[in-house]
Chain A
């Protein structure tokens, strides 16, 4: 009996001591992986992370295009009962809680954090080669530049914070618009260097929207195309000729082809639920409508109109009784939930080159590029020589407007080329905002610090 007791006591002691082992407290998270777990199996993790970045980018693009389209008098979102889809852009866009203030901010930075995490996982991963890591960096930094460019394009003079760190509560100051452009260009150029060291293939697969640009060597062309757009924007944001010159250099390494398919380029692809659908498609979304000025300002015979615009059965007013005009025009630019949305494509590149050529003195080249688009895309007769710089800008804006309709360009184009006042005011209460404001949540956290260095012009 006493032996049995001794055994029981010993068993209890062993059990108790085993229970006291600190290793037992290393309970993993069974529901979601941490960066540590991801790094251990980085080859698998980066595939999921790259898809996460592409999905986060595509998911916000329809709402973004609709938002900048409303303020650029290209589109409306006439959701019944919800007037803020109109008032937030046209009446009180300066209100930090308006619908427009939330567009293209938090979600862009959330994706920037996804990219930050991808690079962190890849950097520490023992299982990836140096070339594979370079490929991941080249992809990530290109995507970061894309996201940040959407932020600075919408916030413009307010500048933007550009840094992220491991500390989630770290708050970085706003940098000026000029610095933001420089940062974005440095990321794109750094990404090119990375891509050149990335070997023949990426250690992940890109979507069908990247067909033709899915290897490091071809992805560089996408990277250069984005750089060309950023240089042109920067040129009209104070940088001027040097940036136009850089834009031409970048275009030379991009996939620009004046005689090639104008739709060639890189796209966000969409699929029906549970994937991200294209929510501004004309089949399931009857509320995203076209501004009547698209019909009024049209040159006779321009085939781009009929390809992208269709009348709707009955004119629709703004939702929620908000002041505005009715419209009888809808879009057919994206006919289905699965219609891809371009990130950047050949037609835009030709128009970027026309602009860069004109402002670096190559007027003939500019005219040739503009006429390529005008004739090939619009089926219009080629235009004659420019009578003035204003004439060039008017004609450039016309081609950009109809070629890139509902692709998220119009508002930025009129602003950066000094034509913001050309946007129609449909009601006395409407305004022409030059930028979206910084959302209240961002300013609140900054103001709570009491550190005025963190306020910036966006959070006065």
Chain B
């Protein structure tokens, strides 16, 4: 049988369409002319044609017919595609047995994004995605269906074309300048606005992203899958004449939101903005008798509008046997803070080669260079972080001034001298560069020894690697105002973090499609090997020679080194069955993993899964299909490196040599993976002749045996154990609706609404584990998550004043502002209690696309309802007397609002006033495009076949009552919990681009 597949609208042939016999053997692919040749079994058959981006079409063929043509319609609702069901197997999306979250290239890179996380925000139902700051170059976190761990890995597993890639976050050592945590002991800290390594990936190379959420789907990745798996496919070539694309984008940026500051007109006003006698004298000296020369420090510092640009080129094509894709990107993203920016250069080559009838080989190679200059932000203890410092200095002196010899004016407030800094000087001269070179490669070979109509056996081998070198270069020259503060002027940190990740698998896939029976069975089995390592080296010099960032000649030299290495092995078996004309889909599998991180390295931990779906057709009027699905799966999260080892540790130095002492946390030779069990139910609907579709999913996940560090009796000589214990539950809902409200003539409106919510609760904590605060916070005075039995893990705990009766029993929690109006005669203590919930009530995303002839408009709105933030920025600005609303009225007459907040907080005895609602609505992406007609294009630029001109915007607007810069930011970067600590972040950035996309 032969035929041709064309686009129903354009009537152009569609290459690479899969044409197959439904429920039986026989498969073919269209060539560049859209033509195919297929061998079909005798009898009446249903033939299906499908391709990503198009709706599937079927036709019934009578015996003897030898020609069948298909006309495919664009799949705007994305009902088509394939989903991952195993290390080496996929399934039609329509037959998927679990909830699917897929993002195609066209949606992913609608507008340029700092990193992949940013590009995915609002597009993946079931995932909570937040950027940690507005700094250029990314840094964000994806949490799928809630937190799954307290101490172990909290990030999803990222797999690109079968290569498991690293997403670690390692500081390049900025803490040595900011002193956010102990400046001497720690080279870097999690508060350094660290970038996770997903930042090196180029979203423009991505064809599609599939997020595996349910354990029934992720169990194929075994003991690294509790946090979900993000499966990324890069673009590949298709047979045909070479196709070239060139995209050139140029744009600019500005802060989406700044904090503003307290306004002063007269010297009397300005004196209210300082507290010490020395600062008052400085105010008088600066202002003199004249009016205050008001400054807007933030507008001055976050003023970089230098052009950002992005150039993307690609070439693809090939013959039937050899197909290639070559893509390159040069992206320069400027940051709003002066002298900050990120530059990403990537090159990717994907090659697919068929060798004879039976062998096909796919090779991918990707080299990346990512250079980041992210300036200064977040917490500090040296008076250097601008958003922190501006909260303490009245904006009455132009800090950009220089004296005759070109030196910056000294910033006189907040301690003055070397206790503080002039951010304009710091950001002019501070070097803080992270330079990453990264290589990803994969080879995927398939040998098909048997391919008959009934039996197909394929042997597949996959090898992938991901190597990177992250070089940090930090240099704060000795003449910076704050540098003499530690007695050692000048700080330089050189760091090298080498990552090395390898994975390989050997798979056998057997498909059995008996002609006589109404089902297809796919059995796959294989072996998997994974290796993940990194090696961090830091050297620091303090007290530098003038003009040289050389650590070797520094007065004080320090070194640090840390290594990690994991090796994992797994075996798996998967079974899939499609039956009853592809209406029933069954999928089950089991994977057994063992890992170098487990106490028992030889023991296999078994992760089973099973799921099923059934499609009901024409069950209800106007409803095309309803698919019911249910699944169950178990996955694991392996222990951390070293958890298994009972170690000695290096102690103090004695006689010039290091010493060996006991390690305070004693390893556990019985440590095993955390486990997650999840069941999921849901349905997918397609209605109104595929003009509407919907999905709904309920899930319930139970995490057991999570890692904990309970205290031991000090008389054992140790501090903590590492154990597996406890139970933790997440329940949630996900829903999405896609529809086409208007389709008339050449006007199309497509809309998508997505919804998600969940509740995360600790349901069991063993009695020997006293409640403890989750890592990455500043304690009860500022609010943090607390691990305590029968409590939501997202609850924010902090201090509140509690009245006690004579016996010391709490009577009631006193209202906010109590400490400003204390009552005589009652006993009040500050108690650590629940004062908020960081988990939003729900999140919704709205995507709308309008197309009218050649004009396209699309926008994405992201709404988060609820979710509290620990607004420490507000606390700092109140303490420093510079909050923009400091003088506004407060609930207590005569007390200005800033004083009210700071006084009710009362040195951390009542945290509530700074736990603030983080509800927001964000207009994340807007794209307006015009497709220039082919004739016009040809007249303008010969040989160019298509041209699109677009205006693109990212983060154009945010509607929120939140006091701070952005409710999605986090001072501590990527953490499992405590993702809501707002402390002087890099402000969010609004970006605009003009884009030209050319095809030829």
Binding site for B on A (CB under 8 A): 1, 5, 8-9, 12-13, 15-17, 19-20, 22, 24-27, 29-35, 38, 45, 48-49, 51-56, 58-59, 105-106, 109-114, 116-117, 160-161, 164, 168-172, 207, 271, 274-276, 439, 441-442, 444-446, 448-450
For residue B855, CB closer than 8 A to chain A, the reply is no
- B714 & A441 in contact (Cβ 8 Å cutoff): yes
Chain B residues near A32 (CB-CB < 8 A): 642, 645, 647-650, 663
The secondary structure that dominates the A interface is helix
A276: B residues at CB distance < 8 A: 652, 654
Which among A8, A25, A38 is the interface contact of B660 at CB below 8 angstroms?
A: A38
Which B residue's beta carbon lies closest to that of A49? Answer: B660
Looking at B59-67, B225-233, B716-724, the stretch in contact with chain A turns out to be: B716-724
| Residue of A8, A109, A444, A449 touching B716 (CB-CB under 8 A) | A109
- Asked whether B105 is an interface residue with its Cβ less than 8 Å from the other chain, the reply is no
Return B763 CB to nearest CB of chain A, in Å.
Answer: 19
Segment at the A interface, from B383-391, B405-413, B565-573:
B565-573
Q: Is the CB of B648 within 8 A of A171?
A: no
Which chain A residue lies CB-closest to B718?
A168
A19 in contact with B355 given A51-B655, A54-B654, A110-B717 (CB within 8 Å): no
Query: Do residues A25 and B567 form an inter-chain contact, with CB atoms below 8 A?
Result: yes
Question: How far, in whole Å, are A159 and B563 apart by their CA atoms in the complex?
Answer: 43
Nearest chain A residue, comparing its CB with the CB of B462: A12
- B647 touching A34 by the CB < 8 A rule? yes
Which of B461, B568, B642, B662: most chain A Cβ within 10 A?
A: B662
B646 near A34 with CB under 8 A, answer yes
Known A27-B596, A52-B659; judge A161-B715 contact (CB<8 A).
Answer: yes
A25 near B569: Cβ-Cβ < 8 Å: yes
B459 in contact (CB, < 8 A): yes
Whether A34 contacts B459 by the Cβ 8 Å rule is no
- 8 pairs from A and B in contact (CB 8 Å cutoff): A5-B359, A8-B461, A9-B459, A25-B596, A26-B601, A58-B654, A109-B717, A275-B654
Interface residues of B in 660-712 (CB under 8 A from A): 660-664, 666-667, 711-712
Closest to B598 in A: A25
Residue contact A5 to B654, C-beta cutoff 8 Å: no
- Residues of A within 8 Å of B661, CB to CB, are 49, 52-53, 55-56, 110, 114
Residues of A within 8 A of B566 (CB): 27
Q: Closest residue to B767 on the A side, CB-wise? A: A448
- Cα distance, A444 to B711, chains bound together (Å): 9
Contact A55 B504, CB 8 Å, known A24-B569, A109-B714: no
- Would you call B602 an interface residue if the criterion is a C-beta within 8 Å of the partner chain's C-beta atoms? yes
Residues 418-450 of chain B: 1 if any A CB is under 8 Å from the residue's CB, otherwise 0? 000000000000000000000000000101000
Contacts A22-B602, A32-B650, A276-B654; A52 near B660 (Cβ below 8 A):
yes
Partner among B461, B645, B716 whose Cβ is within 8 Å of the Cβ of A16: B461
Q: Are A19 and B504 in contact (CB under 8 A)?
A: yes
| CB-CB under 8 A for A51 and B569, given A38-B648, A168-B716, A274-B653 | no
Instruction: Known A32-B647, A33-B648, A446-B713; judge A48-B567 contact (CB<8 A).
Output: no
> How far, in angstroms, from A51 to B655 measured CA to CA in the complex?
8
- B594 touches A (CB below 8 Å): yes
B565's contact among A30, A33, A54, A207, by CB below 8 Å, is which?
Answer: A30
Q: Quick one: closest B residue to A171, CB to CB? A: B713
Q: Could you tell me the distance in whole angstroms from the C-beta of B329 to the nearest C-beta in chain A?
A: 32
CB distance from B87 to the nearest CB of A (A): 12
| Residues of chain B lying within 8 A (CB to CB) of residue A38 | 648, 660
CB closest chain-A residue, reference B652: A55
Residues A170 and B602 in contact, CB atoms below 8 Å apart: no
Question: Given that A25-B601, A114-B662 are contacting pairs, would A33 and B647 also be in contact in the complex, using a CB cutoff of 8 Å?
Answer: yes
User: How many angstroms between the C-alpha atoms of A90 and B648 in the bound complex?
Assistant: 38
CB within 8 A of B527: which of A9, A20, A30, A33? Answer: A20
- Which B residues fall within an 8 A CB radius of A? 355-356, 359, 445, 447, 459, 461, 463, 504-506, 527, 529, 561-563, 565-569, 594-596, 601-602, 641-642, 645-664, 666-667, 711-719, 721, 767-768, 770
Q: Can you name 5 extra interface pairs (CB under 8 A) apart from A25-B596, A34-B645, A58-B654?
A: A25-B602, A31-B562, A110-B661, A113-B716, A441-B714
Instruction: Report the nearest A residue to B529, measured CB to CB.
Output: A19
Are the CB atoms of A439 and B714 closer together than 8 Å?
Answer: yes
| Complex: A54 Cα to B997 Cα, angstroms | 71
Q: Which residues of B contact A169 (CB under 8 A)?
A: 712, 716, 721, 768
Taking a contact as CB atoms closer than 8 A, the residue among B567, B654, B666, B770 that contacts A51 in the complex is B654
Q: Judge whether A207 and B655 touch: CB under 8 Å.
A: yes
CB distance from A208 to the nearest CB of B (A): 9
Contact residues in A for B645 (Cβ distance below 8 Å): 29, 32, 34
A-B interface, 9 closest residue pairs, ranked by CB to CB distance from nearest:
A113-B717, A19-B529, A106-B714, A52-B659, A48-B660, A12-B461, A27-B596, A30-B563, A16-B506
Q: Which one, A1, A49, A439, contacts B355 given CB within 8 A? A: A1
Residues of A within 8 A of B660 (CB): 33, 38, 45, 48-49, 51-52
Which one of A13, A168, A171 has the highest number of Cβ atoms from chain B below 10 Å of its Cβ?
Answer: A168
Partner of A26, one of B596, B651, B657: B596
- Check A444–B770 contact: CB distance below 8 A: yes
Q: Is the CB of B652 within 8 A of A19?
A: no
A161 to B667, CA, bound (A): 23
Chain B positions within 8 Å of A5 at CB level:
355, 359, 447
Chain B neighbourhood of A59, CB < 8 A: 652
Write the nearest CB–CB distance from A368 to chain B, whole angstroms: 40
In the assembled complex, which residues on chain B have CB atoms less than 8 Å from the CB atom of A1? Answer: 355-356
- Which of chain A's residues have a CB closer than 8 A to the CB of B712? 168-169, 445
C-alpha gap A1/B447 in the complex (Å):
13
Contact: A29 with B647, CB < 8 Å?
yes
Interface residue from A9, A20, A45 paired with B529 (Cβ < 8 Å): A20
CB-CB under 8 A from A52, the residues of chain B are: 651-652, 654, 659-661
User: Shortest distance in angstroms between A82's beta carbon and chain B's nearest beta carbon?
Assistant: 15
Q: A5-B359, A16-B527, A172-B715 are in contact. Are A25 and B594 (CB under 8 A)?
A: yes
Residues of A within 8 A of B718 (CB): 110, 113, 168
Known pairs A51-B655, A445-B712; A34 contacts B527 (CB<8 A):
no
Looking at A45, A55, A164, the one whose CB has the most chain B CB atoms below 10 A away is A55
CA distance A171 to B711 in the complex (A): 12
CB of B983, distance to nearest CB on chain A (Å): 24
On chain B, the residues within 8 Å of A12 by CB distance are 445, 461, 463, 506
Q: How far is the CB of A253 from chain B (nearest CB, A)?
A: 29
Complex Cα gap A34–B668 (Å): 12
Instruction: Return chain A residues, CB-CB under 8 Å to B717.
Output: 109-114, 116, 164, 168
Q: For the complex, what is the distance from the CA of A444 to the CA of B714, rounded to whole Å?
A: 10
Q: How far is the CA of A112 from the CA of B662 in the complex (A)?
A: 10
Q: Which residues of B contact A441 (CB under 8 A)?
A: 711, 713-714
A113→B770 contact, CB < 8 A: no
Complex Cα–Cα for A450 and B646 (A):
28
- Closest A residue to B558 by beta carbon equals A274
With both chains docked as a complex, state the minimum distance between the C-beta of B772 and any C-beta of chain A, in angstroms: 12
Question: Residues of A contacting B642 with CB < 8 Å?
Answer: 29, 31-32
**CB neighbours of B770 from chain A (8 A):** 444, 448
| A55 lies within 8 A of B459 (CB) | no
Q: Which residue on chain A has the smallest CB distance to residue B662?
A: A113
In the complex, which residues of chain A have a beta carbon less than 8 angstroms from the beta carbon of B647?
Answer: 29, 32-34
Which residues of chain A have C-beta atoms less than 8 A from B594's C-beta? 22, 25
Q: Which residues of B contact A35 (CB under 8 A)?
A: 646, 648
- Which residues of chain A are within 8 angstroms of B654 by Cβ–Cβ distance? 51-52, 54-55, 58, 207, 275-276
Closest Cβ–Cβ distance, residue B718 to chain A (whole Å): 5
State whether A442 and B714 are in contact (beta carbons under 8 Å apart), knowing that A19-B529, A55-B651, A117-B648 are contacts in the complex: yes
Considering the complex, give the chain A residue whose CB is closest to the CB of B597. Answer: A27
| Residue of A with least CB distance to B666 | A168
Residues A16 and B504 in contact in the complex (CB < 8 Å), given A51-B654, A168-B718, A442-B715: yes
Minimum C-beta distance from A202 to chain B (A): 15
A2: min CB distance to chain B, Å: 8
Give the chain B neighbours of A17 by CB distance below 8 A. Answer: 527
